[in-house]
Chains A and B, each alone.
Chain A
Amino acid sequence: MIRIDSVTKRYPDGTVAVDRLSLEIPDRSITVLVGPSGCGKTTTLRMINRMVEPTEGTILLDGEDSRRQPVTTLRRSMGYVIQNAGLFQHRTIVDNIATVPRLLGWGRQRARERAAELMERVGLDPSLAKRYPYQLSGGQQQRVGVARALAADPPVLLMDEPFSAVDPVVRKGLQAELLRIQDELGKTIVFVTHDIDEAITLGTMVAVLREGGRLAQYAPPADLLSNPADGFVEDFLGADRGIRRLSFFPSDALELTTDAVIPADATAARIAAVEAPHLLVTDADGRPLGWAAREELTAGDLRTDRLLPYGRPFVPGADSLRVALDCAVLSPVGRAVAVDGHGRVTGVVSQQTIGEAVRAAHTAGRADEQKVAG
Chain B
Amino acid sequence: MTGFFDIPSDLQHSWAGLIGLHLREALLPVAAGLLLALPIAQLCGRFRWLYPPVLGLTTVLYAVPSLAFFVVLIDYTGQTELTVMIPLALYSLVVLVPAIVDGVRSVPDETLAAATAMGFGSVRRYLQVQLPIAAPAVIAGLRVATASSISLVGVGALIGNQGALGNLLAAAQKYDRPELAVNAVVTMAVLAILCDVLLVALRVLLTPWMPRGGTRLKPAARRAEITPEGAVR
Contacts and interface: CB of A to CB of B under 8 A. Distances in A.
Interface of A: 11, 42, 46, 49, 51-52, 71-76, 78, 80, 82-92, 99-100, 103, 132-134, 145, 148, 158
Contacts of B111: 86-89
Interface centre among B120, B121, B209, B229 (most CB of A within 10 A): B209
A158 B117 CA distance: 9
Contacts of B132: 90
Nearest to B216: A134
Contacts of B110: 82-86
B190 to A, nearest CB: 33
Given A87-B111, A89-B111, A75 B121 contact: no
B172 interface: no
B118 interface: yes
B65 interface: no
A99 B118 contact: yes
A349 B216 CA distance: 55
Contacts of B117: 46, 49, 51, 75, 78, 80, 82, 158
Contacts of B116: 51, 75
16 contacts: A49-B117, A51-B113, A51-B232, A72-B121, A75-B118, A78-B117, A80-B117, A82-B117, A85-B114, A87-B114, A88-B111, A88-B129, A88-B133, A89-B216, A90-B132, A90-B133
B229 to A, nearest CB: 7
Top-6 shortest CB links A-B: A86-B114, A86-B110, A80-B117, A75-B119, A76-B119, A132-B209
Interface string B111-138: 1011111111100000001001101000
Contact of A80 (B114, B209, B216, B233): B114
Q: Which of B111, B135, B208 has the most CB of A within 10 A?
A: B111
B209 to A, nearest CB: 4
A89 B209 contact: yes
Interface in B198-233: 207-211, 216, 228-229, 232-233
A195 B208 CA distance: 37
B119 A88 contact: no
Contacts of B118: 75-76, 80, 99-100, 103, 148
Interface string B88-121: 0000000000000000000010110111111111
Contact of B120 (A90, A103, A145): A103
Given A75-B116, A86-B113, A91 B232 contact: no
Contacts of B216: 89, 134
B119 A72 contact: yes
Residue among B108, B110, B135, B211 facing the most chain A CB atoms (10 A cut-off): B110
Nearest to A51: B232
Nearest to B135: A90
B114 A91 contact: no
A213 B149 CA distance: 55
Given A76-B118, A148-B118, 12 more contacts: A51-B117, A72-B119, A72-B121, A76-B119, A86-B108, A88-B114, A90-B132, A100-B118, A103-B118, A103-B120, A134-B210, A134-B216
Contacts of A42: 229
B113 A82 contact: yes
A133 B209 contact: yes
Interface in B7-59: none
